[in-house]
Amino acid sequence: MRVKLLVPPAIHPKGPEASRILLPHGISILTSFLRQNGIFVDIQDLDAELRSPHSHLKQRKILPKLSKYGCLQLKTGCYTGITDKRNDLLATSLLDLASVQSYDLIGFGVNSELQILTVLLLAEKIKKHTIYRLLSGGRM
């Protein structure tokens, strides 16, 4: 079994710089436990990758979009998900960054309520992506 554990980006209504979160200790402990029990695990901290001064320009453009997405969700008062075309494009960008294609199980490490909207968006996109892949016979 191949497992991918993701630390989702945090979003804050006051902007990308206001949404610093705690270090992902829990997901690191889970990774260690799974590896000790013979399970292949990859861990990826999307929050750190997007905030890094060394990330690609394309990646750095995602943070302001995430902040805008969070504000719109709060204004709406409910989760609109990938039914909104802008949210779907944002989810696609995050999914491309996460590269989850060759894994049997995807998990998320959430340390803050500031990550909930991003987790919902990513989970919905991964689910849709997986169902499409199964219906098309495993081909993308």
11 vs 136, higher pLDDT: 11
Position 25: which residue type? H
Give me the long-range contacts of 65-68 (CB less than 8 A, separation at least 24).
65/90, 65/93, 66/9, 66/11, 66/16, 66/90, 66/118, 67/11, 67/12, 67/13, 67/15, 67/16, 67/19
**What pLDDT, on the 0 to 100 scale, is given for residue 43?**
92
Please, which pLDDT band fits residue 140 given cuts at 50, 70 and 90?
very low
Please, which pLDDT band fits residue 13 given cuts at 50, 70 and 90?
low
Question: Domain residue spans in the chain?
Answer: 2-135
Q: Are 44 and 7 in contact (CB under 8 A)?
A: yes
**What pLDDT, on the 0 to 100 scale, is given for residue 64?**
78
The string of pLDDT tens digits covering residues 14-60 is 655 555 556 667 888 899 999 999 999 999 988 888 877 776 756 66
Instruction: Dig out the tokens for 21 from the structure.
Output: 């979160």
pTM: 0.77
